[in-house]
Structure 1
Amino acid sequence: MDHLYRRGIQNGLTIKKLNRHQLSEMEPNVRGVEAIKVPSAGIVNYQQVSYKIADLIRKQSGDVRCGETVQTITEQTDRITVETDQHTFNGRFLINCAGLHSDRIAYLAGYFIDVQIVPFRGEYYKLKPEKRHLVRNLIYPVPNPDFPFLGVHFTRMIDGEVEAGPNAVLSFKREGYAFTDWDRKDIWDVFRYKGFWHLARKYMREGVSEMARSLSKKKFVSELQKLIPDIQSDDVIPGGAGVRAQALRSDGTLVDDFEIIHGKRSLHVCNAPSPAATASLEIGKEVVRQMMVKEPVW
């Protein structure tokens, strides 16, 4: 926690350390010895943000196409061509921010990078309405420096709901938001990748624990009780799930920073770690800056 505090100060955040008494005043149901208060922390309804961005793009004569699969990408001296299963697009420059499929888009453009996306599904529970008072703010544990995932936490949403989670289990489909979702190609790509087996050997015990929490509500609740002891199994109901596009190198190293690859007429964002959605506008500015530095005539 001291390390997180120092990093926050170095990055110009206005933060404050809380002792046990101050923590209890702010979050009376949380068990802890110390905490860091981050007043600038917040959440957004990102679905609404996405709709607004799409609307702004259309108002500036842009196009938003959904449900098309990219099949080929060809870079030439004066243009780049993208062929999908429905259309052919010609342009001056390509920006790849394809998330769960960003590595595959980079490969289609001819860039064989030492990074592959391995999908991990994060499963959530929600507090029942009568138990939402147990959480006043966003509550996070101190992360385990020996494990790449944050661990379960509590998030008070804009509509008043409180999410609890997630765990982190290997997804058998890149867009596999349900436990039963699977895709043969996605599974094959994971299990034939030597970086995955390096990772699995290193974090075998933690991975088994995450899977156990996925299969057992009792174990999941036990993890929640480390932060809020008063929570019981009857207080939570199943919530949604998300899939983390975890970039992994062939030696098993997790990419925990931005991975941006420059092509001849393309730029590939192959890793954008959390909170990439919340910070998307600033990330977009940096992507454009890098594109302009590479070739100002765009």
Structure 2
Amino acid sequence: MGQGTGIVGGGIVGVALARALALRGDDVTVLEKENRLAAHQTGHNSGVVHAGLYYAPGSLKATLCAEGRGQIRDFCAEKRLPYREVGKLVVAVDESERGALDEIERRATSNGVPDLERIDDAARIAEIEPHVQGVSAVHSPHTAVVDYASITEAMAQDVRACGGRILLGHEVTAMREQGGKVYVRTAASEHAFERVVVCAGLQSDVVARFVGADASPRILPFRGEYWALRPQRAGLVRGMIYPVPDPRFPFLGVHFTRGVYDDVHVGPNAVPALAREGYSWLHWSAADTWGSLRWPGAWPLARQHWRMGADEISGSLLKPRYFRKAQRFIPELRMADLRRTSAAGVRAQAWGRGGELLDDFAIDQVGSVTLLRNAPSPAATSSLAIADHLIRHHLS
């Protein structure tokens, strides 16, 4: 037999799984292609510990987010890592958004979001966020912010303390199952494992093909770009201010977040990235772009959502367009209040052959290889719960 469990991917989900296995005494090895952990989605997000407002009741997202938010809070307390409950206000700017806000309230209530408050009074909205304009809102006072990269490093310390191995700079280039073992090759070495779990994020479909998994779902990378409030104007935002999301898309829209270190960032938007790890318009890959264009779901998606795509791209390229999306919620906001940052993230969004964007977490099994095929937000919030779920249902 092979040696223990191999985990492909050193983001927060992969390391959380490695920690859970190592704590119970399993032999575990993490293979990460970068020279540091949390190098992609984990280290480039808003740092929000989601309370579960948006997710379809009964879905994996809803269930594991509810479990995971408390686990992250307890982990931060144990490791003395920052955890700030700044609260989230989801705002309906006008009457046309009340119906969608009703649905958010229904889902949040079904998902057990603690101390949820529906607000239909402008004065009460102003008590929570004095500079916000809206006709109605939902307030989640316990929604928190953290530093997910630091959390990942703390989890990794537990893995190593239990005898687990984390190998950086080990990009997986091939994988095969033979004779009761799963052989995993990197540029530096070859390993034989009893089983493998792939938590490869932006590269998850690439790694899935190594073991003959279905090509669907494919990863479509969406870049999210951030602006920041100038420090002297950070007082415009106390916690988090979110729009009512468009239910057709698995994105939340441009929002304001006071981070765990007290900076206030604005965003992200959602534009198609020209590379799986394309953090700006200057980063592009002909292979990645051509692969997306050739995918059967490309043209159905484009036909259905081209207006949204054009709007997001124009907001990316033109500051006034981005600014107007943000100013809807804070009329006092001025364009000079926004400063460009280098911060951006790329979301690994799975999509099917028919052009559909997958909304829930997705897990496949091919022999002794478990594939996490779709794990966007709230995967960081849910990371410890995802690890428990994988162990219960795939690695027991």
What is the TM-score of this pair, normalised by structure 1?
0.95
Q: CA deviation at 1:67?
A: 2.3
The one-letter amino acid paired with 1:222 is R
Secondary structure, aligned partner of 1:139 = strand
Q: CA deviation at 1:86?
A: 1.0
CA distance in 2 between counterparts of 1:7 and 1:128 reads: 35
The counterpart of 2:117, out of the listed 3, 6, 16, is 16
Q: CA deviation at 1:77?
A: 4.3
Partner of 1:114: 216
CA distance in 2 between counterparts of 1:43 and 1:263 reads: 36
The one-letter amino acid paired with 1:22 is R
The one-letter amino acid paired with 2:117 is K
CA distance in 2 between counterparts of 1:103 and 1:256 reads: 16
The one-letter amino acid paired with 2:353 is S
Partner of 2:261: 159
- C-alpha distance after superposition, 1:53-90 (max 9, x if no partner): 11111111111122222111111242111001111011
Matches within 5 A, 1:96-245: 96-239=198-341, 240-245=343-348
Q: CA deviation at 1:135?
A: 0.3
State whether residues 126 and 162 of structure 1, in contact with CA within 8 Å, keep that contact through their aligned partners in structure 2. yes
The one-letter amino acid paired with 1:28 is P
Q: Which has the higher contact order (CA 8 A, sep 6+)?
A: 2
Q: Which stretch of the first structure deviates more once superposed, 273-282 or 121-130?
A: 273-282
The one-letter amino acid paired with 1:95 is V
| Runs of 4+ that moved beyond 4 A | none
State whether residues 196 and 248 of structure 1, in contact with CA within 8 Å, keep that contact through their aligned partners in structure 2. no
State whether residues 43 and 278 of structure 1, in contact with CA within 8 Å, keep that contact through their aligned partners in structure 2. no
CA distance in 1 between counterparts of 2:104 and 2:387 reads: 26
Partner of 1:259: 362
CA RMSD of aligned residues (A): 1.2
Partner of 2:106: 6
State whether residues 106 and 268 of structure 1, in contact with CA within 8 Å, keep that contact through their aligned partners in structure 2. yes
State whether residues 32 and 227 of structure 1, in contact with CA within 8 Å, keep that contact through their aligned partners in structure 2. yes
1:33 aligns with 2:135: yes
- C-alpha distance after superposition, 1:8-45 (max 9, x if no partner): 11111221101222111110111111111112211110
Q: Percent identity?
A: 39
The one-letter amino acid paired with 1:144 is D
Partner of 1:42: 144
Q: Which stretch of the first structure deviates more once superposed, 74-83 or 23-32?
A: 74-83
- C-alpha distance after superposition, 1:224-244 (max 9, x if no partner): 001111111110111210001
Instruction: Indicate how the Cα distance of structure 1 residues 67 and 178 shifts in structure 2: closer, same or farther if over 3 A, else same.
Output: farther
Secondary structure, aligned partner of 1:32 = coil
CA distance in 1 between counterparts of 2:215 and 2:389 reads: 21
Partner of 2:349: 246
Matches within 5 A, 1:82-93: 82-93=184-195
Q: CA deviation at 1:146?
A: 3.3
CA distance in 1 between counterparts of 2:143 and 2:355 reads: 32
Secondary structure, aligned partner of 2:392 = helix
Structure 2 gaps, min length 5:
1-100
CA distance in 2 between counterparts of 1:121 and 1:159 reads: 23
CA distance in 1 between counterparts of 2:363 and 2:223 reads: 24
The one-letter amino acid paired with 1:136 is R
CA distance in 2 between counterparts of 1:32 and 1:115 reads: 38
CA distance in 2 between counterparts of 1:127 and 1:63 reads: 41
Structure 1 gaps, min length 5:
none
Partner of 1:64: 166
Partner of 2:63: none
Q: Which stretch of the first structure deviates more once superposed, 242-251 or 52-61?
A: 52-61
The one-letter amino acid paired with 1:256 is D
Partner of 2:373: 270
State whether residues 169 and 210 of structure 1, in contact with CA within 8 Å, keep that contact through their aligned partners in structure 2. yes
